[in-house]
Amino acid sequence: MAYNEFLADRIRQIFRERKVNVYEKKMMGGLCFMVDDKMCCGIHFSKKKEMDLLMARIGVDATEEAMKKEGCQPMDFTGRPMKGFVFITPDGFDLDKDLEYWVELCLDFNPLAKSSKKR
């Protein structure tokens, strides 16, 4: 199953409202939103949980506080959580203000994030 197009449109709207230069890249079975050539956030459909998850790159420093929020969990593809990344279940981004919170957190971290090496 593909990612949720409605959720993608909601995220695109947030970027438009904030006038963020963003492009999209299909990867990891979902859709990633790239800001300044760095992964900012994305959508991933979890076959195991049978739901769309918001992938948020928020950095290590913000992770502990974020884990207290509803729906937030470690980003775990392989059995080992990825540092600085979290997944949010639909309970945590259903409301527009909650989705905006997560996208803002990603945008706040983006200038500090390292971009991947060019091939």
Convert the pLDDT of each residue in 21-74 to its tens digit.
Answer: 999 999 867 999 999 999 999 999 888 888 999 999 999 999 999 999 999 999
What integer is the mean pLDDT of 80-93?
Answer: 94
Q: How far is the C-alpha of 75 from the C-alpha of 81, rounded, in Å?
A: 5
Residue 117 reports pLDDT greater than 90: no
Residues in CB range of 25: below 8 A, 6 or more apart: 31, 32, 34
Distances in whole angstroms, Cα of residue 7 to Cα of each of 39, 49, 95: 17, 17, 11
> Taking 90 as the threshold, does the pLDDT of residue 3 lie above it?
no
Enter the pTM of the model.
0.92
